[in-house]
Structures are given as C-alpha cells and as structure tokens.
Chain A
Amino acid sequence: MRTLASILVVMLIIILVLSPSSAWAFGADEALQDPGLEARALTIHDELRCPVCQGQAISDSNAELARDLRRIVRERIAAGDSDGAVFDYLTDRYGDFILLRPPVKPTNYVLWFGPAAVFVVGTAGLIIFITRRRKQRRDILPTPLTYEEQQELKKIRRDDPS
C-alpha cells in the first residue's frame, strides 16, 4: 500500500511539474496593439517564473499555465496597471516564488548584499594582510641608520675601500 502511494505521488509530481507533452510546441500569443504596452508586457514576462516549469520564465515556456499568465499580464497592462501593480497581482496569488528577481526585503538581504559583503571582506582581508606584513617587516628590520651613523659609515668606507 505504501509503495502504491509513493508511486502515485511520483506520478502526481510528474504530472504536476512537467508541462503537458506538447512542451516544445508553441503557438503564437495575441500581442497587444500598442507597441509600448507590448514592450512592457514582454519585459514583465521575462521577470516572472512559470510555476510548473523547471525554472523557466513564462516568456520561455510553452506550458498552458505560462500562456495563461502571459495573457493575464497583457490584460492587466491594457487595463492600465503599472508594472508594480502587475507584479503585485501575481504575487498575491502565487507568492514571491513567481518573481525571478527576489524582492529586496530583510529576508533577502543576504542574497542582494552577499556579493558586496564578500568583496568588502576580501578587500579588508587584503589590507589587513598587507599592513600586518609591513608591520612585521618593520619590527624585524634594523632601524635605519641615523645621520651620524651614516657619516661614520662613509668615513670607514673611504678609509678602507676593501
């Protein structure tokens, strides 16, 4: 019974996650008449993730749900929504998951500021490394000769060129 259940769960996941078998076939969407609005729609399509595909944007997917979502985006734009409002419409229904650009909020700070942090830490490490080495070198090297000592040295060398 348990094996049956797990087989069915696998089947379910396959059906849920994979797009229908005509995955690689595509049709032509109805584009918006206004080129400016259509351009906005296409940009937004690149920023939304298809919930049933393996990481693709809705612009790249031929799944039915992706097609539906593209249609919805066009409808909302034609109805006068701003870009932000269109994104809100979709995140209200599918959560942040549907955004390919994660929102910059406290739970995502590590993501957005992580690389900069790495750079800062790297640079800091470098500076510490260089200054520490200089300090160690200074600690080890003899102090420079004073002026009197330098004159002494010159005198000695003059007198005894060997």
Chain B
Amino acid sequence: MIAEIGHLSLIIALSLSLIQGTLPLIGAWKVNVPLMSMSRSAAAGQFIFISLALACLMYCYVTSDFSVKNVFENSHSAKPLIYKFTAVWGNHEGSMVLWVWILAFYGIAIAGLGTNLPPSLRARVLAIQGLIGMGFLVFLIATSNPFLRLDPAPLNGRDLNPLLQDPGLAFHPPLLYFGYVGLSVAFSFAVAALIEGKIDPAWARWVRPWTLLSWSALTAGIILGSWWAYYELGWGGFWFWDPVENASFMPWLMATALLHSAIVAEKRDALKNWTVLLAILGFSLSLMGTFLVRSGMLTSVHSFAADPARGVFILGFLIIVIGGALSLYAWRAPNMKASGRFRPISREGALVINNLLLVTGCASVLIGTLYPLVLDAISGTKVSVGPPFFESSFVWIMAPLILLAAAGPLMSWKRADVLGVGQRLIVAFGIAALTAILLVALKGGPWGAILGLTIATWLIAGVATEFSERIKLFRVSFLSSLQRAKFLPRSALGMSFAHAGLAILIAGAVGATNWQIENVQVMKIGESVSVAGYDFTLSNVTTSDGPNYTRQRGEVLIKKGGKIVDTLYPEKRKYWVQGTDTTEAAIRTTWLADIYVAIGDPSPGGGLAVRIYYNPLVPWIWLGALIMVIGGIISLTDRKYRIGAPKRSTQQSISDPIESHSNQ
C-alpha cells in the first residue's frame, strides 16, 4: 500500500513538473502574472509529493517490506537500522529518488527565498528546474522505479553491500547530491538569463549564494567519500583518479571557477558571457557524471549495476539538456550587452587566469577520463589512464594557480600594482623559502613533494598577509584589530578560510602521498615490528559475532620508547548474507600523522598478515577540507544575501581591497 502511494506520488510530481516546466515560460513571455506565479506553487507541490515518495520508500526499508523489489535487493532484516535508512540511496533506483528530491528542494527554496527576484526571471528559473525534474522523473518512473513489487514476496533480502554499511558512506551521497544537483540552480539561472536576453550584476549576485551552497556541499561530499576510502579500503589511499571520482571532481572544479567568475560579473559587470557558460558547463558535467556512473560504460569500483537502456535514456536526456543549453548560448550570447573593461594586470585579470587554469585542469581530468572510451569507440584499442597520467598533468596545472591565489586577493580591481603586491608578499615568500630549506634538510626529497609543500606554505602565508592587512594588525591597537575582524564582510572572511583550508589540504595530500611508510608482513601473536619509530606488537587475536557479520579482531599494542602509547583493534569482517569480507582498519590520529593498522589473511605457516602504515599529514586533508567548507558557509551568511536588491555602495567599504600603502 505504502509503495503504491509512493509510486503515485512520483507520478503526481511528474505532472506538476510538466506544469512547472511549461506554463511559467509562457507566462514570462506573455507577461502573464498568474501563469508566472504558478511556478511557485508547482515547485512547492513537487517538493511535497517527492518528499512523500521518499518517505514511503524509507518506510518500506525500515519495515523491511521485501515485497518491494528494491528493498529485497538492498536490505536484510538483520541489518542495523541506520543502514536500512541509508540503503534507500545506496542503490541506483533509490538514489535517483534522492536526486529528484534534492532538485525539488532547490526548486522550493528558490520559490520561497527568491522573493526579490524579478518575477519573469524567477518564473523562468523555476521553469528550467521543472523541466530538468521532469526529465529525471520520466527516467525514474520508466526505467528505475523503486516501487516495483515482487510476487511472491521473499522472506528476506539480499542485504546491502557490506562496504556500504558504514556511517561515512551513509552520508556521502546526500552531501554529494546537494552539490551536484545544486549546480542545476546556476544552470537554470544561466538559461533563464539567456532567454531573457540580459545579464546584469544583480544576476551574478543571485547566482552566487546557490553556487556557494552547492560548492560547499560538493566539497564536503567528495572529502567524505575520500575519507571513507581511506579508512575502509585497507591500504591508506584516499584518491584514485577513478572515473567516478573524477566525475564528481570535474563539477567541483567548474563550480570553483564559477564562484570566482561570478565575483567579477557582480562587482565589475564583466565576464558575463563566460560566467553563464561556466554555469551551463558545471551542471553539464554533473549530468555527464551521472551518465558515466549509471550506464555501465566504465569499469569502476563505484559504478552502479549496468543497464544499457538506462544509459541510452540518460545520454538522450544529456544531449537534449546540454545540447539545448549550449545551442541557446551560441545563439544568444553574442548579442549580449558588452562587458566592463579592465586592465590585464588587475584582480579581474588574476581571476581570468584563475578560471583559465581551473578550466584547463578540468579539461585534463575530462580528457583523461573519457579518452579510453573515445579511443575504444574510434579504433577499438584499449588503454588505461590511471593516476600516473593525472598526477603528471593535473597537479602541474594547479601549481601556478595556487601560487596566484596568494597574490590575487591583494590585487586591486581595474588596475593592480604588481610591484606593490610583491613587496607585501615578501614575508610570505620568506616563510615559504624557509620551509623549502627545512624540508630539504630534513627529508631530502622527493623534490616534487618539497615544491608542493612550499607552494602550500606560500598560500597560507599569503592568506595570513591579506587578512592581517585587512584588520590592520600591528598597525593599530590589538583590540581595534579584533573589532575589524569581527565586522569583516563575511564573504572576505569566507575567502580567507577557503584559501587557507585549501593550503592545508594540499599540504596534507602532498605529505600523505610522498612520505608514507608502509610495512606489510606476517606476524605471530607476541611478535613485534618497528615502524617509523614506534614498536607494534600483535598481542591477541579473537573471533566474535556482530549484528550481521563475524569478525576477527586483532589487538595491536603501540609502544614508543618502551611505554605503551595506544592499543589498536583492527578487524576483518565476513558478512553472512553476501559472503563478502571487509577490512576495518584501526587508525590512531594525531595532529601531524596517522598510524594505520589493518589485518589480513592468516598465513599458512601460522600468524596473520598485518599492514602497518605511518601516514604523515593525512589529518590535514580532512582538516583543510573542513575549513574550506566552513569558509563556504561563512560566505553564505554575508549580509548582502539577506538584504533585498543589491545596493550600489558609493563609499569605499572594507570589502574593497586595501590599496598599497607605498602608493602616493
């Protein structure tokens, strides 16, 4: 009964999306107010009915209703309750329901919060959202219906893949989708602006908060996935340049470029066509990611079960949506009112280079990911493009960007004094150079890693420089500086946080990749091994049962200088229903490094295979990303997004960059 209600709700939502997608467009064209405001009620209705559908699906899972095929395939009565919930989105059909739910959420948010948007623009934006929702709902109902029944109903289910029965992976999809799907808002704004025929600074101001929200969620979602891979897969890796990972990374890069470009569009009324294009491309990459993951074209540990019918549908949808938007762009963009001007050497210029590098980086990931498919299609040759390719190309494209990121915020609009900026960054340069020297002395190499850490230090020193200039640190009383810090515009504070977080993340990634110490060997109970200055003793191995698995648990004592520092309990679990194993590594995290221990197979000669890793700076990856997300959220709370129409400020406010003091 509940499943049928869910099914019906999806169908009602589909009809509402049809209304939402067509009538408001006509209304905006004919300037018919009732038709335009229909968009808001349709958006609200869509959200209500899809929420209902999602709730019904959750109900079926939580009550273990195995007559519903989707529940049968992905759940089991012995599964812990939280994973019954999260199994809803741990499979293709359920995750599509989550997709459209988040799409509807953004729709109702625009309807509710966008009261200061011109009615025609809001109607058009909601209409585009409606059309996208319509496409996905048709896909959902036609090819991926989670409410199909099984007759006769089985007694129990096939259980969720044990790898997915994990808190980290439970929250990874919703966050990721808030990111991916959130880019649809920027897309809708872009298409709506193209239809309207104008892009003014106000448009950029409206696009930015939505992009900030999706960017923050996407950052959090990607890092959560990365963190999960790190502690779950058993050998300390956190990023594999897997096609599905790349599919989430490319929209992130575009969203970052969009955030920066929108600043120029808003403040300087420039780069408008470019910003619109970025908004279209960002969501296009989200859609392409969805396609790659669900079509079966890629072999990846992440991909959902393949079904060519689904692949064809999504590809068709992709061609209509992206092809349509890009054609609209090609038609309308050349006629857009021209942009403001600026000198190449200016903050705008720096942001242009930022965008150029981000887009090139995104292109390198795109080429690397699609190349095997394209080559196979054209010539039947199969190649593998793995981490070595991406590390040689992407990383080097990003290096100049990070260098620039320290200087950019110090440059002024319209025309910047490079020498002045250079002078102000002398201290930052000194710190970076010192770091390089220290690293060479302490570690000796590899030189790529030392370069990476130096660049990260340069960035964070640059952020500190800009921040201290803004609050006039050491130039006025300390209390006065604190006051200034408190009243800094949130977007500036957010920027500092985000850039600082990025520097920390880079430092973490460089350290973790280059200076990991690995030790794999067979150990008998009582034996010890010395790794990275610590002594590891396997003191005990026990076997016991969990809720739906049997576990083998090792007890590993960590000693330093004879004293016990910690005890770790790595596990190996065998899940009963699916019969697969998982490794639950035990990790000891300190500010500077992780000690990571995993146990493996018993060796025929007695003893257990034990993997011990010393991972320096890994915690900084998660810390840095968290700071970036906080920065995004801080920026979101800027006052200007709460006040109505943007006001033009006539005096120089604190948000303008500090003019160099060495200028006359």
Contact = CB atoms under 8 A, between A and B. Distances in A.
9 contacts: A25-B600, A26-B583, A60-B235, A95-B382, A96-B381, A101-B392, A111-B389, A114-B363, A118-B360
A11 to B, nearest CB: 14
B393 to A, nearest CB: 5
A108 interface: yes
Contacts of A29: 520
Contacts of B171: none
A115 B389 contact: no
Contacts of B389: 100-102, 111
Contacts of B360: 115, 118-119, 122
A142 B402 CA distance: 42
A24 B583 contact: yes
A95 B244 CA distance: 24
Interface residues of B, number: 55
Interface string B231-266: 001110100101100000000000000000000000
Interface string B342-357: 0010000000100011
Contacts of B392: 101
Contacts of A107: 375, 379, 381
List the 3 closest pairs (A to B, CB-CB), nearest first: A100-B386, A101-B388, A115-B364
B611 A49 contact: no
A27 B580 CA distance: 17
A99 B580 contact: no
B301 interface: yes
A26 B299 contact: no
Interface string A86-97: 000000000111
A151 interface: no
Interface string A115-126: 100110011001
B384 A102 contact: yes
A57 B610 CA distance: 20
Given A28-B600, A55-B242, A118 B363 contact: yes
Contacts of B581: 21-25
Interface in B578-610: 579-583, 598, 600-601, 603, 609-610
A110 B371 contact: yes
Contacts of A96: 381-384
B122 interface: no
A26 B367 contact: no
Nearest to B584: A24
A157 to B, nearest CB: 27
B540 interface: no
Interface string B513-533: 000000011100000000000
B387 interface: yes
A140 B212 CA distance: 39
A83 to B, nearest CB: 13
Contacts of B364: 114-115, 118
Contacts of A56: 240, 301
B40 interface: no
A73 to B, nearest CB: 16
Contact of A57 (B357, B361, B381, B386): B386
A55 B363 CA distance: 21
Contacts of A21: 579-581
B385 interface: yes
Interface of B: 233-235, 237, 240, 242-243, 299-301, 303, 338, 341, 344, 352, 356-357, 359-361, 363-364, 367-368, 371, 375, 379, 381-389, 392-393, 397, 520-522, 572, 579-583, 598, 600-601, 603, 609-611
A97 B371 contact: no
Contacts of B521: 28
A114 B300 CA distance: 24
Contact of B611 (A26, A97, A110, A114): A26
Contact of A26 (B234, B344, B383): B234
A17 interface: yes
- Looking at A23, A97, A108, A118, the one whose CB has the most chain B CB atoms below 10 A away is A118
Contacts of B386: 47, 49, 55, 57, 100-101
A74 to B, nearest CB: 14
Contacts of B233: 60
Contacts of B357: 119
A40 interface: no
Contacts of A17: 299
B384 A49 contact: yes
A91 B360 CA distance: 31
A130 B338 CA distance: 12
A82 interface: no
B368 A111 contact: yes
A21 B583 CA distance: 13
A123 B397 contact: no
B359 to A, nearest CB: 6
A55 B229 CA distance: 15
Interface in A7-29: 17, 21-29
B363 A115 contact: yes
Interface in A42-75: 46-47, 49, 54-57, 60
Contacts of A118: 359-360, 363-364
Given A96-B381, A111-B367, A126-B352, A28 B603 contact: yes
A130 B271 CA distance: 12
A107 B387 CA distance: 19
B367 A114 contact: yes
